[in-house]
Amino acid sequence: MAQKTVLVTGGAGYIGSHVIIELIQDGFDIVVLDNLVNASMESIRRVEKIAGKKIPTYSVDLLDKNAVDDVFKKHKISSVIHLAGLKAVGESCELPLLYYKTNVGGTTNLLEVMEANGVFNIVFSSSATVYGLPQFLPLTEDHPVGGCTNPYGKTKFMIEQILSDLCTSNKKWNVAVLRYFNPVGAHKSGTIGEDPSGVPNNLMPFMGQVAVGRRASLTVYGSDYDTPDGTGVRDYIHVVDLALGHVAAVHKLNEQCGLKVLFLQNGQNKSPTVYNLGTGQGVSVLDMVKAFEKASGKKIPYELAERRLGDIASCYGDPSLAAKELNWTATRGLDEMCEDLWRWQSQNPQGYKGAEGSSQ
């Protein structure tokens, strides 16, 4: 069977770098496209060292449609995993036009180039933010969507709608939408991990930076929620488990290619398959602090503050559909998430910035 080549947009980022490793270990060839706005080529160099092979990588922005097309012309791409995009909730509220232009505009460019080059398999990196304020927990894939509380979440919802319309208009498309919960942790080697630019927006990288002395203390926003300890409850998933979910989704799309004739004969409208990727377990902020203190042996000083606008008390998903249809389940627990994060952060206290030749 011919080797399958997967294009990973945003492949130099936190999730992308872990996805690439798991794809290579599963036998795929990889091409990376990343504009390096929030990523570093150092992550690709380290992935190449782990994987033992060179990875064709292009510093290309999805808004540059001709440059994207050039990449497709150079490689026989069979599927795309679309991770590229801006993702800071607070920033999206301050710069909504930038988020709509980058995330939605970049995606439509990508889809047009894919169609022009006869590539119809795409796995899209969506988010649990599309569910908005939970009407019930755990969240299932048929929970109402679209009540997003910020422009970032709205871009994810809009792209989901675009993909749905695309499948309705052209039955050649095979689309898997993965709704992430809260990715944490790092690769077992400790050589790649989350390295946010500026002040971290998420709990775990912030705690990691407190533990290595880069920040004085953690701010816990909201201590009066209707949760066991008053702090927000979230569904944290190990980034390697998340990466393996993408591998499973690519295999699912390849299977659906074989069913294409059946769909066309039956006159069925194909629509994106949507999967929650999470553990199904909610963990509070303070429980996560305790787990990280145990893993790192470091005390994490924290201060309680008022709730942030748009934050919700609890959010965790039901991943049973992914278990049933993708044969995928998150297997790495809280202790492993924290131990792997600490290994990465302690070995790389300044992230990729300290590495010679880093282009961060």
Integer Cα distance of 137 and 316 in angstroms: 7
Instruction: Report the Cα 314 to chain-centroid distance in Å.
Output: 20
**DSSP assignment, residue 250?**
H
Q: What is the DSSP letter of 52?
A: T
Q: How many contiguous H segments (helices) and E segments (strands) does the chain have?
A: 12, 14
Contact 191, 44 (CB under 8 A): no
| Alpha carbon separation from 190 to 25, 107, 193, 337 (Å, rounded) | 18, 32, 7, 12
And the tokens for 290?
């305790």
d(CA 254, CA 277): 19
Q: Where are the beta strands (DSSP E) in the chain?
A: 5-9, 29-33, 57-58, 79-82, 121-127, 174-180, 182-184, 218-221, 233-234, 236-238, 273-277, 283-284, 302-305, 314-315
The catalytic site residues sit at 152
CA distance 237 to 33: 25
SS3 readout for 122-146: EEEEEEHHHHCCCCCCCECCCCCCC
Distance CA 337, CA 325 (A): 25
